[in-house]
């Protein structure tokens, strides 16, 4: 083979190689996809800075609102607010606070969960809605979906002020959930790896900061429980570096599904409610232990930088001791009173 033929064959091979690479990069038209569609595929439209224009319920029927991060049993983080209905009010309406698209409805047999997309970046969720309107109820399934991984199709479009249904809340607490999630504003935790694998944890935002002016003030005026001892804010992750406050885990390993943790690990949470009550929860226990403001062993956990023991009215105590290496020792007894010093044994080691 002469030199000209060799060059021609080489050029032909190179062209074929480049064309093959081009086709591989472009993908195919057979509908197969290796991942979720990009955010631009969202049908609702982009608006990362939208505002809510209509109250989400009749505020006259609301007793108080507990903002993000409130300590609850079985929850590593409360990624939505809790809206408590007044004791003498049977049920309250639920309204669309903004023009938005319904993308999912779940029915667990007790009540309904509604998920709306207000923009490609902002998703709203209502939980424990006992009586959604028929048009929404008829779309219910028992299957939850991701908020931002892929963009689900629009099931129903609603306008600001439209009635979505009514609710009497949960049987136990007479409350329902209101959460808003923003894909471009992830929350920061003391250890993001513990929380960011859960969409609702990572992207939770304050629903009431999407309101402005008098409407926002009306929402904030309902924050509680009251009387307020803590500064008025929408809270969020409750951990504070260098203190015992926040969430601690009893394993160094970071699990990829840290939703509740009753089976894989048993986290402990300690934080203060807006009325000053210190709340302590362990992941496998259904009891929220409380130390009310003003009691003898009450101290804000955000002010505890070494050690402190909380005695419980129900008996027993939680004795926290922060270590120089950043770990936390916890001694827990269900009877008796706080000892004079931290026990030498029988405690659990926790990690951020």
Taking only the tens place, the pLDDT of each residue in 205-215 is 999 999 999 99
Residue range 133-153, pLDDT digits in tens: 999 999 999 888 999 987 789
Give the whole-number percent of the chain exceeding pLDDT 70.
Answer: 86
* Mean pLDDT computed over 289-316: 97
The answer, yes or no, to whether residue 18 has pLDDT greater than 70, is: no
Residue range 169-205, pLDDT digits in tens: 999 999 999 999 999 999 999 999 988 888 999 999 9
- The backbone torsions φ and ψ at residue 146, rounded to the nearest 5 degrees and listed phi first, read -70, 150
The answer, yes or no, to whether residue 37 has pLDDT greater than 50, is: no
Cα–Cα distance measured from residue 333 to residue 336, given in angstroms and rounded to the nearest whole number: 7
Give the pLDDT confidence score for residue 17 in this predicted structure. 40
* Mean pLDDT computed over 97-121: 97
The answer, yes or no, to whether residue 29 has pLDDT greater than 70, is: no
Token look-up 């005026």 returns: 221
Give the whole-number percent of the chain exceeding pLDDT 90.
Answer: 73
Taking residue 50's Cβ as centre, other Cβ atoms within 10 Å add up to 17
Give the pLDDT confidence score for residue 35 in this predicted structure. 38
* Mean pLDDT computed over 87-113: 97
Report residue 10's pLDDT band, with 50, 70 and 90 as the boundaries. very low
Give the pLDDT confidence score for residue 79 in this predicted structure. 93
Give the pLDDT confidence score for residue 222 in this predicted structure. 97
The dihedral formed by the CA atoms of 100, 101, 105 and 111, expressed in degrees to the nearest 10 = 20
Give the pLDDT confidence score for residue 264 in this predicted structure. 53
Which of 20-29, 248-257, 300-309 is predicted least confidently?
A: 20-29
Domain range list for the chain = 59-220, 246-350
Stated pTM of the model: 0.84
The neighbouring-strand residues paired with 330 are: 320, 348
Indicate the fold that domain 59-220 takes in CATH. Answer: Glucose Permease (Domain IIA) (2.70.70)
Q: Name which residue leads in pLDDT, 156 or 24.
A: 156
Report residue 8's pLDDT band, with 50, 70 and 90 as the boundaries. very low
DSSP-assigned states of every residue in 267-284: -EEEEE-TTS-EEEEETT
Report residue 127's pLDDT band, with 50, 70 and 90 as the boundaries. very high
Give the pLDDT confidence score for residue 23 in this predicted structure. 35
β-strands 175-182, 122-129 pairing: antiparallel
Cα–Cα distance measured from residue 71 to residue 75, given in angstroms and rounded to the nearest whole number: 7
- The backbone torsions φ and ψ at residue 103, rounded to the nearest 5 degrees and listed phi first, read -125, -15
């Amino acid at each position: 083979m002469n030199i000209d033929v060799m060059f021609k064959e080489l050029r032909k091979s190179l062209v074929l190689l480049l064309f093959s690479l081009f086709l591989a990069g472009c993908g195919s038209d057979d509908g197969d996809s290796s991942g979720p569609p990009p955010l631009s595929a969202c049908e609702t439209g982009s608006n990362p800075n939208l505002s809510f224009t209509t109250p989400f319920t009749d505020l006259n029927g609301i007793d108080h609102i507990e903002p993000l991060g409130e300590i609850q049993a079985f929850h590593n983080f409360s990624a939505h607010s809790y809206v408590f209905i007044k004791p003498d009010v049977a049920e309250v309406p639920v309204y669309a606070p903004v023009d938005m698209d319904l993308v999912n409805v779940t029915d667990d047999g007790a009540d309904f969960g509604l998920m709306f997309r207000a923009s490609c970046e902002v998703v709203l969720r209502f939980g424990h809605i006992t009586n959604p309107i028929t048009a929404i109820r008829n779309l219910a399934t028992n299957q939850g979906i991701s908020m931002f991984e892929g963009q689900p199709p629009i099931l129903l479009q609603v306008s600001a002020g439209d009635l979505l249904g009514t609710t009497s809340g949960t049987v136990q607490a007479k409350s329902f959930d209101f959460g808003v999630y923003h894909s471009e504003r992830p929350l920061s935790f003391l250890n993001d790896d513990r929380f960011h694998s859960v969409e609702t944890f990572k992207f939770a935002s304050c629903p009431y900061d999407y309101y402005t002016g008098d409407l926002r003030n009306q929402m904030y005026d309902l924050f509680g429980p009251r009387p307020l001892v803590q500064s008025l804010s929408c809270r969020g992750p409750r951990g504070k570096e260098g203190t015992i406050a926040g969430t601690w885990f009893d394993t160094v390993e970071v699990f990829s599904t840290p939703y509740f943790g009753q089976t894989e690990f048993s986290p402990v949470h300690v934080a203060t409610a807006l009325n000053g009550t210190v709340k302590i929860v362990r992941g496998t226990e259904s009891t929220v232990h409380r130390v009310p403001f003003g009691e003898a062993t009450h101290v804000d956990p955000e002010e505890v930088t070494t050690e402190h023991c909380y005695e419980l009215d129900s008996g027993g105590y939680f004795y926290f001791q922060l270590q120089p290496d950043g770990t936390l020792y916890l001694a827990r007894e269900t009877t008796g009173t706080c000892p004079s010093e931290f026990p030498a044994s029988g405690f659990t080691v926790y990690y951020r």
